[in-house]
């Protein structure tokens, strides 16, 4: 996990689960030996996420990424983390464009609409 410079955590993340899901989560936390917050942070931040969706979802993701890119362009590159974010966002935009082109090619050949980002 990335080194956290500021250890003060002032944001709260909540979500609802069923009773069965709750007990499954609690069992895994106990088995891990970690505190609940540390377990969930590691689980959420260190997992590979595979996004699958339709053309509409892909277009929506591309739109949001482009919006984020425009906002980042307004920041000064002297801040190292802003520079790193810009690089990562540009890589993501290239992946989305590549997937969109592949999806359009598949759709032109009559293949089903499915895209993995």
Residue entry with tokens 């955590």: 9
| CB contact at 8 A, 39 and 28 | yes
Task: Return the structure tokens found at 58.
Answer: 């892909």
Residue 82: phi, psi to the nearest 5?
Answer: -70, -40
pLDDT digits (tens, 9 = 90+) for 7-53: 788 889 899 999 999 999 999 999 889 999 999 999 988 887 666 66
Higher pLDDT, 95 or 5: 95
Higher pLDDT, 88 or 22: 22
Higher pLDDT, 31 or 80: 31
State how far Cα 86 lies from the chain centre.
15
What average pLDDT does this structure show over 104-111? 66
Q: What is the pLDDT of residue 34?
A: 92
Q: What is the pLDDT of residue 109?
A: 65
Higher pLDDT, 113 or 27: 27
């Amino acid at each position: 996990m990335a080194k956290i410079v500021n250890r003060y955590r002032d944001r709260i993340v909540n979500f609802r689960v069923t009773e069965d899901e709750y007990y499954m989560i609690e069992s895994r936390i106990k088995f891990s030996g970690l505190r609940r917050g540390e377990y969930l942070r590691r689980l959420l931040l260190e997992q590979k996420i595979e996004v699958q969706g339709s053309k509409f979802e892909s277009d929506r993701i591309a739109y949001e990424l482009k919006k984020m890119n425009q906002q980042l362009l307004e920041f000064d590159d002297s801040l190292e983390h802003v520079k790193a974010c810009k690089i990562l966002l540009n890589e993501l935009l290239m992946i989305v464009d590549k997937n969109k082109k592949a999806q359009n090619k598949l759709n032109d050949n009559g293949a089903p609409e499915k895209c993995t980002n």
